Chain A
Amino acid sequence: MPILELDQVSKSFGSLKVTDDVTFGVEPGEALGIIGPNGAGKSTLFNLITGNVRVDAGRVSFDGADVTRTPPMKRCHAGVGRTFQIPQPFEKLTVFENLVVAAAMGSRKAESEVTDRCADILVRTGLVERANVLAGGLGLLQRKRLELARALATDPKLLLLDEIAGGLTEAECRSLVDTIRSIHASGVTIVWIEHVLHALNAIVQRLLVLNFGKVVGIGAPEEIMASSAVREIYLGIDV
């Protein structure tokens, strides 16, 4: 049974249909990549999965339960973790406190119970040396890592990554991919929106292509990359 299932989900902002009759499922332990041009509705799709934006029509199920009308914090408690495309750190808290609040509130545990887990995540994401600095003072790479670390702190079953590799150098990107690979290996289901295709292809088993809010293809990466739909969108080649 899929851990995440979207069934004919639609969303409009005014007259613009940003999500148009989207249906797909993600199996537990899978890693799915989402690609598509800017404005295709990728981030909106995430917001619909997390509940930050409400669907107009359709159904969202997570872990066997219908969560279509469930508020974001309850979906987080159920196991949906996410990163934001533009990092959204709690700037006046330290890096460590960013994780503590996510761990304590996200997995509903006492602060004293989450210290080790938070410290461990800081080590895994390469942030431990910055543990006690204010998150507002971090650079881009570290902000991206903090997004990832904070999402992990909520102890998610499903991790939604929104362009986490964008804007990074080649070396930074490689180390991020290694981190994500180890997270995936530990059993977390991953859905990853990314423009950096080689980073994506190092992790995901399937790719989903979104264009103008519609799913125009889903399948194995090599199949998708070779498909006429993708070539048309990305390369402007007529078929």
Chain B
Amino acid sequence: MHGPATTWRVETRTKTSTIFMAFGALAVIAGLLAPLYVPRAALQDLFFILTMLVLAQSWNLLAGYAGLVSVGQQAFVGLGAYVMFAGVLLFKLDPLVAILLGGFAAALLAIPAGIFAFRLQGAYFAIGTWVVAEIVRLVVAQWKTLGGGTGTSLPGPATRSMLGIDLAKNLFGFRPAQAVDVICYWVALLLAVATILLVYRLLRSRQGLALASVRDNHEAARAIGVDARRLRAIVYVASAFMTGIVGALIYVQKARISPDAAFSLTDWTAYVIFIVVIGGIGTIEGPIVGVLIFFGLQKLLADFGSIYLLVLGLIGIVVMLFAQEGLWGLFASRTGIQLLPVRRLLRGGSLKN
């Protein structure tokens, strides 16, 4: 009765993905050495791209994989940045150490914010996260030692003496101001690579599948033994941590902070959503593609003032109408190419190919 013995295996890696991995490793090395052959202005552009990429990856993890559509990520950017400022100005910490502190503060904020927002579903969750961000902004604006509503600046000596500056100065002969940019850029590159690898690792694990199951169907996920609440809470806090760290880093480089800028809905959430939606929500490649398009558009339309925002909005609408999976999603479904594959394909047995 029995047919030939069947052996099954699961395939996740593809030939393209192996090539991409090698290419990615080379790109990271080239990126690390970029300060040697790239002018300072371009380095600042790269810093912008990398930090927006980290924000986009962590929002994508929330919305695209955990189904938590937050429009309050500016709470974590702003708090991370302000706590970093507090660490440097009030406790004389090294800015790089204060960045970590900013991340932890954001993660800590995510706990009460989550307890509040997790009681809400769908659109109400989004509004709830926005409300939290506004509350934090209003509270921080009362923080007189950090400039209250008008904000404050990082003293030049603090950043010019931060960890690694001497290395950058001595090793490559950079001037102090340039060395600050180089250190910030390296940290941004490190964060971007770490975030992508972390998200990729998570999605390749069974917890990643569990997360997708919660996103697709909450009740059914609970019925198959998934602790939906705990999983969502972990992702929410982890994403707040990443967002807080990168927020703090952005403001080490900016060296000037105000509540309106640090808690800007447009800069830290709306643009980030644009990036993820344009690129492709629910994929790791999407935000990478999205951030490059966003940067290109910004450069292209920088001189046109508010027309820039109109064009962004229009492109967002067109993509949502005609390519709901984003540009990467469209490309991937047409070509079948996945650079960072997370699909588990069953092979062997009676299955062809």
Contact = CB atoms under 8 A, between A and B. Distances in A.
A96 to B, nearest CB: 4
B343 A94 contact: yes
Contact of A104 (B209, B219, B228, B343): B209
A110 interface: yes
Interface string B207-222: 0011011011101111
B225 A76 contact: yes
Given A73-B227, A131-B346, A131-B351, A115 B209 contact: no
B344 A128 contact: no
A206 B228 CA distance: 35
B22 interface: no
Interface residues of A, number: 44
A212 interface: no
Interface string A96-131: 111011101111101110011011001100001101
A101 B224 contact: yes
Interface string B182-222: 00000000000000000000000110011011011101111
Contacts, number: 121
A72 B206 contact: no
Contact of A93 (B205, B206, B209, B351): B209
A71 interface: yes
Nearest to B342: A97
Contact of A101 (B226, B348, B350): B226
A192 B205 CA distance: 34
Interface in B250-297: 282
A50 B217 CA distance: 16
A24 interface: no
A96 B12 CA distance: 13
A105 B343 contact: no
A88 B349 contact: no
Given A104-B209, A128-B350, A96 B345 contact: yes
List the 3 shortest-distance A-B pairs measured between CB atoms, nearest first: A76-B225, A106-B225, A90-B216
Interface of B: 6, 8-10, 205-206, 209-210, 212-213, 215-217, 219-228, 282, 343-346, 348-351
23 contacts: A77-B225, A84-B223, A88-B217, A88-B219, A90-B213, A90-B216, A90-B217, A93-B213, A93-B216, A94-B345, A101-B226, A104-B209, A105-B224, A105-B226, A108-B225, A111-B209, A115-B9, A119-B348, A123-B349, A128-B349, A132-B343, A132-B346, A150-B224
